[in-house]
Chain A
Amino acid sequence: MYPMIKIEGVRHAYKTATGPLPVLDGLEVEVKEGGFVAVVGPSGCGKSTLTKLVAGLMKPDTGRVMVHGEVVTGPRATVGMAFQNPVMLEWRTILENIVLPLEIVPNKLTKAEKMERANYLLELVGLAGFGNKRPSELSGGMRQRASLCRALVHKPEVLILDEPFGALDAFTREDLWQTMHKVKAEEPFTGVLITHDLRESIFLADTVVVLSQRPARTQYVLDVPDTGPRTLDDLYTPETAEMLNILRHQIEVAQGRVAA
């Protein structure tokens, strides 16, 4: 079986006034179908560029990005995205915000079916009954949950999460981590999570990819063993502490603070 996402030897540079600025240099990432990869690395190392490549919003200078066995050449409707800033259209209700992708992706759903799908997702993320509220009436954590529903409403094969929990307080964040596991069990997807939080990466992902400083290359890949459903208690086991140590060390290497 081929991997759902395959990034091979990708190099990319942004054009700036002072010449090309290389951001990616030798990126290798592979995610199997239904897998969940977390990408960590120093600030500004090109993690968000990676999400744009997978979403088809950018093309790499060299190398290949493949999704579902096809080279990505442009946007594809089989991708869902959620960002750190859970932007919502303030003039629409939460339900109307969630069905937005269905207004763009071709589908044969009736209006009632769309609403039913949105309501089901709202319930899944713990926002049942909030569908008719305005975004301004929701807290940051609730908006992020709604943003997750919007990313999933068209049943994307690939879900891209660009630091979605970065701006939330610690308790809300842990709540949302658990919600993510629940969502993944009910609505299978292949996930790419960009994060700065090492505990988050271990709790949510089955593979953690550490990127080097800019221009980023794949520096280290950690496989998180599958030990069944995860709970927050799993974050405090010796095995987790060991993995966290490895990742922390790799980040320090990436930052150039210690030698490999």
Chain B
Amino acid sequence: MAYVPDMKMRSAGGSFVKALTSRAVLAPVAAVLVFLVLWEALVWVNGWPNYVMASPSDLPPAYAKYWGLFLEMGWQTLWRTVVGLVLAVIVGLFLGMIMGFSKLMRDALYPLLVGFNAIPKATVVPIVALMFVGDHNFNTILMAFMISFFPIAVSVSIGLSTLEPEYRDILRALGASQSTIFWKIALPKTLPEFFGALKVAVTLAFIGTNLMEIVSPHGRGLGALFDSGKTNSDYPLMFAVLIALAALGIVLYYAVVALEKIFAGWAERPQG
């Protein structure tokens, strides 16, 4: 096995209560509360009705009314996003590998990838929706994938192509094969860059999923719930969907952070 995760990183279970009251948890929770108070105050001071801007106090009734839908649609959005991300990781790693190891492939593929990435994905949504009419799951996953594989491919290729030549020389001088060099050195060395890109990709994938869910007719997921809120002039519902999306995004993001701690925790310098 090329890389064994540090077991010490995982022993968080015993100190769970302590972790919940630590500054690392309390500070962001306090920040969220302050944000909600300011939002409420903004709406109250201006006397806005909820069709201009719903306030945080409008949200609990919306969640209470539609909680079943939120669970169902939230799950739809979540699993499509995750599947799209997994595809993005596989394809991004593969593209990153061939571009990282071969200068020819890098020169050949870079302009193509940059061009592809430069196309606003909102313009691709109707095209994809028309190409695969009715395949809502497929379309949504495809969008999540298309919007999120680029940062992964780029960061992996940069990580591999900037490998210090000394690493390679030490192993090659001993007769190591290319694949040994990849598994023992290049791949683990690229993990911090890979996780950095994955954090960006997570939020991008959500955008892709929701674009498709909102635009495509008879869609499902939180995007479709948002769209139905719009159709029925249920403004608190629309805001409630936005907050639910934000919450899902935070959950996925911290899932990636947890993975990063396990597999690339060594890259973190002790602070102090």
Taking Cβ atoms with an 8 Å cutoff, the residues of A that contact B are 52, 55-57, 74-77, 79, 81, 83, 85, 87, 89-91, 100-101, 103-105, 134, 136, 150, 154
Give A56 to B188 CA distance when docked, in angstroms: 26
Nearest-neighbour CB distance to chain A for B46, whole angstroms, equals: 52
Contacts of B59 in A (CB 8 A): none
Q: Which of A52, A85, A104 has a CB less than 8 Å from the CB of B174?
A: A104
- Does B20 interact with chain A (Cβ within 8 Å)? no
Do A75 and B172 have beta carbons less than 8 Å apart?
yes
Give A76 to B174 CA distance when docked, in angstroms: 6
Nearest-neighbour CB distance to chain B for A163, whole angstroms, equals: 12
Do A87 and B173 have beta carbons less than 8 Å apart?
no
Do A55 and B173 have beta carbons less than 8 Å apart?
yes
Interface bracket on B: 20 to 34
Do A57 and B184 have beta carbons less than 8 Å apart?
no
Nearest-neighbour CB distance to chain A for B223, whole angstroms, equals: 39
Give A134 to B189 CA distance when docked, in angstroms: 15
Contacts of A57 in B (CB 8 A): 169, 172-173
- Does B269 interact with chain A (Cβ within 8 Å)? yes
Give A230 to B188 CA distance when docked, in angstroms: 43
Contacts of A154 in B (CB 8 A): 174
Q: Which of A77, A91, A104, A150 has a CB less than 8 Å from the CB of B188?
A: A91
Q: Mark B248-271, 1 if CB is under 8 A from A, else 0.
A: 000000000000000010110100
Q: Which of B165-181 contact A (CB under 8 A)?
A: 166-167, 169-176, 180
Q: Which residue of A lies closest to B5 (CB)?
A: A91
Do B188 and A75 have beta carbons less than 8 Å apart?
no
Given known contacts A87-B167, A104-B180, A136-B269, what 6 new A-B pairs fall within 8 Å (CB)? A57-B172, A76-B175, A85-B166, A100-B170, A100-B184, A103-B184
Contacts of B91 in A (CB 8 A): none
- Does B107 interact with chain A (Cβ within 8 Å)? no
Do A56 and B173 have beta carbons less than 8 Å apart?
yes
Give A74 to B172 CA distance when docked, in angstroms: 10
Nearest-neighbour CB distance to chain A for B52, whole angstroms, equals: 53
Contacts of A134 in B (CB 8 A): 266
Taking Cβ atoms with an 8 Å cutoff, the residues of B that contact A are 3, 164, 166-167, 169-176, 180, 184-185, 188-189, 191, 264, 266-267, 269
Do B170 and A87 have beta carbons less than 8 Å apart?
yes
Q: List 17 A-B contacts (CB under 8 A).
A: A74-B175, A75-B174, A76-B175, A79-B173, A83-B169, A85-B166, A87-B164, A89-B188, A89-B189, A90-B266, A91-B266, A100-B170, A104-B175, A104-B180, A105-B174, A105-B175, A150-B170
Give A87 to B165 CA distance when docked, in angstroms: 10
Do B170 and A81 have beta carbons less than 8 Å apart?
yes
Give A89 to B184 CA distance when docked, in angstroms: 9
Give A104 to B168 CA distance when docked, in angstroms: 13
Give A100 to B191 CA distance when docked, in angstroms: 19
Q: Which residue of A lies closest to B170 (CB)?
A: A81
Contacts of B184 in A (CB 8 A): 89, 100, 103
Q: Which of B167, B173, B184, B264 has the most CB of A within 10 A?
A: B173
Q: Which of A77, A87, A105 has the most CB of B within 10 A?
A: A87
Nearest-neighbour CB distance to chain B for A159, whole angstroms, equals: 11
Do B169 and A81 have beta carbons less than 8 Å apart?
yes
Do A81 and B164 have beta carbons less than 8 Å apart?
no
Give A174 to B52 CA distance when docked, in angstroms: 74
Do B175 and A87 have beta carbons less than 8 Å apart?
no
Q: Which residue of A lies closest to B164 (CB)?
A: A87
Nearest-neighbour CB distance to chain A for B31, whole angstroms, equals: 31
Contacts of B191 in A (CB 8 A): 91
Give A101 to B180 CA distance when docked, in angstroms: 12
Contacts of A85 in B (CB 8 A): 164, 166
Q: Which residue of B lies closest to A54 (CB)?
A: B173
Do A104 and B164 have beta carbons less than 8 Å apart?
no
Nearest-neighbour CB distance to chain B for A220, whole angstroms, equals: 28
Q: Which residue of A lies closest to B167 (CB)?
A: A87
Contacts of B180 in A (CB 8 A): 104
Do A89 and B185 have beta carbons less than 8 Å apart?
yes
Do A104 and B266 have beta carbons less than 8 Å apart?
no
Please give me the 6 A-B residue pairs with the lowest Cβ-Cβ distance, nearest first.
A91-B266, A55-B173, A87-B166, A75-B175, A104-B174, A104-B176
Give A101 to B184 CA distance when docked, in angstroms: 11
Do A101 and B174 have beta carbons less than 8 Å apart?
yes
Q: Which residue of B lies closest to A150 (CB)?
A: B170
